[in-house]
């Protein structure tokens, strides 16, 4: 039932990510990400965070920022963090920016 609620609330790529995190047994991470995504009404930031979380998950990066650090950041701090993360890998930045251009 939790998966269905998340897919109804986040009916796009975000819902798929949250559902996948639950399937992988990462419910704590899914809940933290869900809470983070609901904090701000900013579509670009929402989708950027989804892509960055997918990237970290697929590359087996530490998920500690997602479970511990990001929950305390303000909107401006979270935007700055996301911009800095995108710039770490040019291809990722281009892909996210293109997605935002066409999806939002």
Mean pLDDT of the chain: 87
Domain locations in the chain as residue ranges: 2-103
pLDDT for res 104: 62
pLDDT for res 59: 94
What integer is the mean pLDDT of 18-26? 92
74 conformational bin, left if phi > 0, alpha if psi -120 to 50, beta if neither: beta
- What pTM, to 2 d.p., does this model score? 0.84
Q: How far apart are CA 15 and CA 10, in angstroms?
A: 4
In the chain, what percentage of residues exceed pLDDT 90? Answer: 63
Q: What is the pLDDT of residues 27-78, one digit of tens each?
A: 999 999 999 988 988 989 999 999 999 999 999 999 999 999 999 999 999 9
């Amino acid at each position: 039932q939790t998966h269905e609620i998340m897919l109804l609330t986040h009916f796009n790529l975000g819902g798929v990510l949250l559902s996948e995190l639950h399937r992988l047994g990462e419910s704590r991470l899914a809940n933290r990400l869900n809470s983070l995504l609901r904090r701000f009404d900013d579509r670009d930031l929402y989708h950027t965070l989804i892509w960055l979380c997918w990237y970290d998950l697929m590359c087996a990066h530490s998920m500690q920022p997602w479970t511990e650090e990001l929950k305390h950041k303000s909107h401006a701090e979270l935007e700055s963090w996301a911009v800095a993360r995108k710039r770490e890998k040019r291809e990722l930045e281009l892909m996210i920016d293109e997605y935002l251009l066409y999806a939002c």
